[in-house]
Chain A
Amino acid sequence: SQQGEEDPQALSIQEGENATMNCSYKTSINNLQWYRQNSGRGLVHLILIRSNEREKHSGRLRVTLDTSKKSSSLLITASRAADTASYFCAPLGETSGSRLTFGEGTQLTVNP
């Protein structure tokens, strides 16, 4: 199955700093999605980037996709304490249907 692997496993920064998380995957994709999960709650969709796109922005979020390297990155600019959460990527391939396969995520802690 198509699974994304997030890196680093944990990231701790100060409020106002930028946070960068990376995702690697193994096979060709149709799109790649990023989700956020606050502790013990449901996942919230952040952004979807299609395989023919290289960069996408949404507010303070910037996602890049490099299909040649099979990798994506999520940048959160000017982080806030409320950004503290786990972040997951989910690559969606031609053979995975709409089945999302998650790695262990990146636990981001933003210190006030």
Chain B
Amino acid sequence: DAGVTQSPTHLIKTRGQQVTLRCSPKSGHDTVSWYQQALGQGPQFIFQYYEEEERQRGNFPDRFSGHQYPNYSSELNVNALLLGDSALYLCASSFDSLTEAFFGQGTRLTVV
């Protein structure tokens, strides 16, 4: 079992560009959540997908959008990148809404 995999591991983008991050959940998991973690801070919840629908959303602007595919894999898209979007983006998958989450190793996004 490969666990949760994220790609790419590192990414450098220019302010104003758009970026897509990808996540494959752990086998058997149907729920995918995305988190943003700034340096020295705890992860902040962006949104969660279940059955291809956005089920919950955190306090992030509409520039952050996502998608979940029938195979449960997911994408996080960020438009009009700002310098402040530089962070570690974490994907987590789970099977049930009240069980433990499994995290990927994250994508380090740097906006210059």
Q: What is A's interface to B at a CB cutoff of 8 Å?
A: 1, 30-31, 33, 35, 40-45, 48, 88, 92, 97-105
Q: Is the interface of A mostly helix, strand, loop or mixed?
A: loop
Q: Is the CB of A98 within 8 A of B98?
A: yes
CB of B10 to closest CB in A, whole Å = 11
Q: Is the CB of B56 within 8 A of A43?
A: no
Q: How far is the CA of A92 from the CA of B102 in the complex (A)?
A: 15
Closest to A107 in B: B40
- Of B11-19, B65-73, B89-97, the stretch lying at the interface with chain A is B89-97
Q: Is the CB of B94 within 8 A of A98?
A: yes
Q: How far is the CA of A105 from the CA of B94 in the complex (A)?
A: 22
Q: What is B's interface to A at a CB cutoff of 8 Å?
A: 4, 31, 33, 35, 40-45, 48, 55-56, 58, 88, 90, 92, 94, 96-106, 108
Residues of A within 8 A of B43 (CB): 43, 88, 100, 102
Q: A104-B42, A105-B42 are in contact. Are A97 and B56 (CB under 8 A)?
A: yes
Q: Is the CB of B56 within 8 A of A99?
A: yes
Q: Per a CB cutoff under 8 Å, which of A30, A41, A88 touches B105?
A: A41
Residues of B within 8 A of A88 (CB): 42-43
CB of A58 to closest CB in B, whole Å = 12
Q: Per a CB cutoff under 8 Å, which of B44, B55, B90 touches A43?
A: B90
Residues of A within 8 A of B106 (CB): 40-42
Q: How far is the CA of A88 from the CA of B43 in the complex (A)?
A: 9
Q: Is the CB of A45 within 8 A of B45?
A: no
Q: Is the CB of A98 within 8 A of B105?
A: no
Q: How far is the CA of A103 from the CA of B44 in the complex (A)?
A: 9
Q: Is the CB of B101 within 8 A of A45?
A: yes
Q: Is the CB of B56 within 8 A of A42?
A: no
